[in-house]
Amino acid sequence: MEEKRRVKPYEIGELDQYLLGQGNHYEIYKKLGAHLVEDGDKKGTYFAVWAPNAQKVSVIGEFNDWDLTADVMERNDPVGIYTCFVEGAKENEMYKFCIETKKGELLYKADPYANYAELRPGTASRITDISKIKWIDKAWMDQRLKWDHKEKPMSIYEVHIGSWRKHPEDEDGFYNYREFAKEIVKYVHNMGYTHIELMGIAEHPFDGSWGYQVTGYFAPTSRYGTPEDFAWMINYLHKNKVGVILDWVPAHFPKDAHGLADFDGVPEYEYADPRMGEHPDWGTKIFDFGKNEVKNFLISNALFWIEHFHIDGLRVDAVASILYLDYGKKDGEWVPNEFGGNKNLQAVEFFKHLNSVVLGRNPGAVMIAEESTAWPKVTGEVEDDGLGFSLKWNMGWMHDFTEYMKLDPLFRKGAHYNMTFAMSYAYSEKYILVLSHDEVVHLKCSMINKMPGLGWEKFENLKAAYAFMMGHSGKKLLFMGQDFAQLREWSEKRELDWYLLAEKEHQQMQSWVRDLLHLYRRRKAFYEQDNTWEGFEWINADDRDRSIYSFVRHAKGGKQNLLFVISFTPVARDDYRVGVPKRKQYRLILNSDEEKYGGTGKKRPAVYKAEKSECDGRPYSFAYPLPAYGVAIFEF
């Protein structure tokens, strides 16, 4: 009997195929794709691709002059993986898979598991070796194991690298990953953010998609450098104590010819039925969450970013579009589930699996859902039929908040409870309050230009808005440019309008946000009890006629407490009286009327003593001169 050949460590074996078929090969990216190897005296690259419906597959590239017949791949069943070793195929050389379909058509596909890609508009993959990356962030990674997002500050700066800053002399002008790392660390440290969230990192063909139509899920985009440059950026950020979150897009993928769509001549990564497999509004394909190999692709990809590239968390895009079968579809354009409903039960199980594995293997990492509906238990435990996410974007709060802030102050009393409603459900999930890129594009205006009034009033409105956001329960996210009151809507084609910081009003806005962020990090009352009723207490949620809100944030054990008073009208209240929980001294720690924030600079006492005088249903109170659009934060 012929002895069975021993599988070499880099080759696809029976166990690999079995685990992939079961949907449990969490490190399949180490086997599929292109991997540089030394095999005895031979040096080259081992290629592997999943294409179960292909008739034949060849790997073509610079190493064989793109010859379709030079390196025909061998089929490995039962799951349909094609493999070959190409001697002499070297690092950085470009390649594609030529897939012959059962109809005899030839498709030229980029490698779904490639770790590096040709710069767009090119669409080839590149051979690279990410196993040799040196990691020097052990201190950060050790600390992450003990980090608990529920009781720690999270103030996230959402950034698009390609338009944060640009080199004016270059055609694209992109900062590379290393340049960006050095500059963003300075900015984040100065402003006081704890994390950055990066848009558009996975490889994508079209700049205008902002990275939300991905063709290279395992490749940091080559727009800003190599995978080694990307890793250098992560090392540098971690060394400087900045967390990194990536946008991650398991909802859909584009129809570009070199991408995942109809990968081997038939729908492989997407549902075969177009009513299940296509988003009519977006013109994209929907992943098939009923197929183990596809779920494995996505789960291993999430683990790839968090485990191999040390990313601290993933913000999962468009979760609602995955959960609902009829999302963005009319009658007849979708297929009900087996019980006749509109919930994608396969996607529900996928999320439970994904979050259990990612968070179970990586304590301290976070999975964040951008989920825009009232789907229950998005951040609930999987064991309690929850989806298992760490945090959920609070889209309801964002909508109510921005609609209120757009109103002329005269009409705000009619929408007073827009600003209080979110507290009625604040603890149903673990939330992040977000003012993201989605709120400052497509004619929605920048944050400053959402505000009513002219000139100074816009700035005063926005300062009050940011103070309310920072005081409200929930983690925080702010998109780049909004912290210095960028006037124009964001565009990926140009850098932020940094020149505005030559003007006093924009400097003052930036100083205000900076001081809020640093105060947020220094005072546990802001964040330590974000997810419990003990952390937040209304003093007066009903002062609709004056459009003033007052509330208290508590740290654990009542060791630290903060009182917020925020006015949303241009009327000064020279003797505003606020009820307080205790007969204590109240120290003013942030006052919007200071000159450095654009206020009058009028001197105020540093400490206010509560007296026995009923107000706001409390036996004690004190008076404070509250200016137009005034914000005052007191510590007690």
Q: Determine whether 370 is an active site residue.
A: yes
The amino acid that residue 169 corresponds to is E
From 370, 483, 495, 593, active-site residue: 370
How far apart are the C-alpha atoms of 428 and 469, rounded to whole Å?
18
The token pair that represents 121 in the structure block: 């508009």
Q: Going along 265-416, which residue ranges are E strands?
A: 278-279, 284-285, 313-316, 366-369, 391-393
Q: 600-612 in b/e burial notation, b at 16+ Cβ within 10 A?
A: eeeeeeeebebee
**Angle separating helix axes 14-22 and 292-303, nearest 10 degrees:** 100
From 71, 118, 317, 495, active-site residue: 317
How far apart are the C-alpha atoms of 196 and 511, rounded to whole Å?
19
Rg, the chain, Cα only:
27
Q: Determine whether 614 is an active site residue.
A: no
How far apart are the C-alpha atoms of 79 and 564, rounded to whole Å?
60
Give the β-pairing of 391-393 and 431-435. Answer: parallel
DSSP H helices in 107-214: 138-144, 161-164, 177-191
Angle (CA) 543-544-545 rounded to 5° is: 95
Is 459 in contact with 412 (CB distance < 8 Å)? no
SS (H, E, C) 188-219: HHHHCCCEEEECCCEECCCHHHCCCCCCEEEE
The residues carrying an active-site annotation are 317, 370
